[in-house]
């Protein structure tokens, strides 16, 4: 934190840098004063790549300044205002408005996920911002919660950090050999090295909405290879909290960019939800606007561009390879797509192929190849046009084992979890019982899963010491109606400390299933992973 005095650095003879507000992959953001207009501003100092030659550095600097000036022309209430773009000592700086709030990422970290109403408000604001940017030929390419500001004084939502934005038609940083952006929020066509357009920002918005609603990206994994595999190949599984907005989220997370929900329809659906409180539906006869443009614009060739044909063929190949009949072909495809994606991120292709099963590291005939680096699970939600493997064909991720329980079900649990019974409940416990994964199988109860969870929520204070923040949400599990119950409590002893529980209940095949995980509040990411893996691999009647 800076102090008043002569130690302040002044750039371009005008902007006094006073205190560092944050640092990211593309540079440092400073709180500053515009000494000419006597106003507070934010200044982004873009980092220099010392590995570049002088000519390469000059070309990158020129491109950065050109694209920053294009962003400065954007005018929208939900886009950060860029006041100036300057150069000082051959380094570019972007001068922006200074907002008085935290980022969406900070707010989620401090206060937890938002409800569907707030997520819809955020989505509408960002769709408006992206519409203005895309109309001007500017792609953001780094939509994520850390780049969305929530202004305290007005509750205004502000899209910021166009530091890696691309002006339409310009050469991208990715094409010059360096992957830019945040992998958990990056569209699969960008991961696969296909030249992208506005629809890639819309995928990122879909991932952001999932994070806002659940607290975590659906593509979060423990390694870069795992993240890339999740984005490019795994089935997309939105969190249960996304149920009120599920058609929007699923539409935005459609892997084929040609079939992805467009901005206008996404905004209409979110506005409909805010007006009615009901889960929105697609307009009758809807197809993405970019398809309509090709069909309806006189004299325009309706044949997709080469890049889009490539994208479609890769997506079709991915879907075919997901079918369990040809596991060896799937492992080759996974490796090939990930090699293309990882090449820009500096990850060794040889290391990836060793993990794919082709180098002897995987079991023969396994359909879970190329997942040695993946910690997490493929989800149960299937995009339109895809074929999901049956649950009985699924295998346990690396570090897990498939437990065939004598109570008549199977699921994947961590290798070191041990089984115990307590009445009608079965527990799989981590060493020291830090994590407790429970399963209950009973006859259906009156009112179905939602009523069961609501009754449990009402009885929470009597069954769980220090019960608080209970929330029951209607959702789906596979094709079944389900209910998710979340709550925080104080644990059974002072030594145990505060804990959080995720609990999903659904009916299937004439039985009611209840699966939950309980963990210390400081270990929720791992708990959510164990919970998701258990649900995704859960098979009744085994």
Better-predicted residue by pLDDT, 404 or 297:
404
Q: Which fold, 102-282?
A: Transferase(Phosphotransferase); domain 1 (1.10.510)
Per-residue pLDDT averaged across 87-91, rounded? 84
Contact of 409 with 532, CB cutoff 8 Å: no
| Element holding 475 (H helix, E strand) | strand 468-477
Just give the CATH number of 9-97. Answer: 3.30.200.20
Mean pLDDT of 201-228: 92
Cβ neighbour number for residue 313 with a 10 Å cutoff:
10
- pLDDT score of 291 more than 80: no
pLDDT tops 60 at residue 315: no
Between CA 355 and CA 365, with CA 359 as vertex, the angle to 5 degrees is 80
Q: How many CB atoms lie within 10 A of CB 82?
A: 21
Alpha carbons 210 and 258: distance in angstroms, whole number: 21
Catalytic residue among 49, 100, 115, 142: 142
Please report which confidence band the pLDDT of residue 199 belongs to, taking 50, 70 and 90 as the band edges. very high
What are the residues whose beta carbons fall under 8 Å from the beta carbon of 198, sequence distance 6 or more?
130, 134, 139, 263
pLDDT of residue 47: 73
Place of tokens 């997309």: 236
pLDDT at 479: 79
Q: What is the mean pLDDT of residues 425-444?
A: 94
- Per this entry, what is the length of the chain? 542
C-alpha distances in Å from residue 17, one per residue of 43, 94, 155, 239: 8, 12, 27, 42
Going from the C-alpha of 240 to that of each of 361, 384, 446, 470, 483, the distances in angstroms are 34, 19, 22, 15, 9
Each residue of 485-529: pLDDT tens digit?
Answer: 999 999 877 777 899 999 999 999 899 999 999 999 888 888 888
pLDDT higher than 50, residue 294? no
* 16 or 101: which leads in pLDDT: 16
Note the pLDDT of residue 476: 84
* Better-scored residue on pLDDT, 495 or 225: 225
Structural fold of domain 392-540? Protein Transport Mog1p; Chain A (3.40.1000)
Residue 362 predicted with pLDDT over 70: no
Q: What share of the chain is helix, strand, coil (3-state, %, to 5)?
A: 35, 25, 40
Question: Residue 437: in which H helix or E strand, if any?
Answer: strand 436-442
Over residues 267-276, the pLDDT tens digits come to 999 999 999 9
Output the pTM of the full model: 0.56
**b/e string for 195-206 if b means 16 or more Cβ within 10 A?**
bbbbbbbbbbbb
The residue extents of the domains of the chain are 9-97, 102-282, 306-355, 392-540
Are both 102-282 and 392-540 of the same fold?
Answer: no
Say whether pLDDT at 321 is over 50: no
pLDDT for 353 beyond 80 = no
Residue 142 a catalytic site member: yes
pLDDT computed for residue 507 by the predictor: 93
């Amino acid at each position: 934190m800076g102090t008043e005095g002569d130690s302040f650095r002044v750039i371009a003879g005008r902007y006094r840098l006073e205190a560092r507000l944050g640092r990211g992959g593309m540079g440092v953001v400073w709180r500053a004063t515009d000494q000419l207009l006597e106003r507070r501003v934010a200044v982004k100092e873009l980092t220099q790549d010392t590995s570049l030659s002088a000519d390469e550095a000059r070309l990158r600097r020129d491109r950065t300044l050109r694209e920053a000036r294009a962003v400065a022309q954007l005018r929208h209430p939900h886009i950060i205002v860029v006041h100036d773009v300057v150069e000082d000592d051959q380094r570019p700086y972007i001068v922006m408005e200074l907002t008085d709030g935290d980022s969406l990422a900070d707010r989620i970290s401090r206060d937890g996920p938002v409800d569907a109403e707030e997520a819809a408000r955020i989505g509408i604001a960002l769709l408006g911002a992206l519409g203005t940017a895309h109309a001007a030929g500017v792609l953001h390419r780094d939509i994520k919660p850390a780049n969305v500001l929530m202004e305290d004084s007005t509750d205004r939502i502000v899209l910021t950090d166009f530091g890696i934005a691309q002006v339409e038609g310009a050469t991208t940083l990715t094409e010059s050999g360096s992957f830019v952006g945040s992998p958990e929020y990056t569209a699969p066509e960008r991961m696969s090295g296909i030249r992208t357009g506005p629809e890639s920002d819309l995928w990122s918005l879909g991932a952001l909405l999932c994070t806002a609603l659940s607290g975590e990206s659906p593509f979060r994994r423990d390694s870069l290879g795992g993240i890339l595999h999740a984005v490019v190949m795994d089935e997309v599984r939105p969190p249960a909290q996304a149920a009120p907005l599920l058609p929007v989220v699923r539409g935005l997370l459609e892997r084929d960019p040609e079939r992805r929900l467009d901005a206008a329809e996404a905004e209409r659906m979110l506005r409909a939800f805010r007006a009615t409180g009901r889960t929105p539906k697609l307009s009758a006869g809807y197809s993405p606007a970019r398809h309509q443009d090709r069909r309806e614009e006189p004299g325009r060739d309706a044949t997709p561009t080469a890049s889009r044909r490539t994208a479609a063929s890769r997506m079709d190949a991915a879907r075919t390879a997901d079918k369990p009949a040809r596991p060896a072909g799937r492992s080759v495809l996974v490796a090939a797509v990930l090699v293309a994606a990882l090449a820009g991120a500096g990850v060794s292709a040889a290391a990836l192929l060793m993990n794919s099963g082709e180098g002897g590291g995987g079991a023969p005939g396994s359909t879970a190849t190329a997942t040695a680096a993946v910690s997490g699970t493929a989800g149960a939600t299937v995009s339109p046009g895809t074929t999901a493997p049956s649950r009985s064909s699924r295998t346990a991720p690396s570090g897990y084992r498939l437990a065939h329980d004598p109570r008549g079900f199977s699921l994947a649990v961590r290798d070191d979890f041990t089984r115990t019974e307590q009445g009608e409940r079965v527990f799989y416990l981590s060493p020291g019982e830090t994590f407790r994964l429970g399963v209950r199988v009973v006859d259906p109860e009156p009112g179905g899963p939602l009523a069961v969870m609501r009754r449990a929520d009402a009885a929470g204070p009597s069954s769980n010491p220090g019960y608080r923040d209970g929330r029951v949400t209607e959702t789906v599990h596979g094709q079944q109606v389900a209910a998710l119950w979340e709550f925080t409590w104080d644990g059974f002893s002072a030594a145990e400390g505060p804990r959080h529980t995720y609990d999903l209940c659904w009916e299937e095949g004439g039985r009611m299933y209840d699966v939950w995980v309980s963990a210390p509040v400081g270990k929720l990411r791992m708990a959510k992973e164990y919970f998701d893996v258990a649900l995704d691999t859960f098979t009744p009647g085994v």
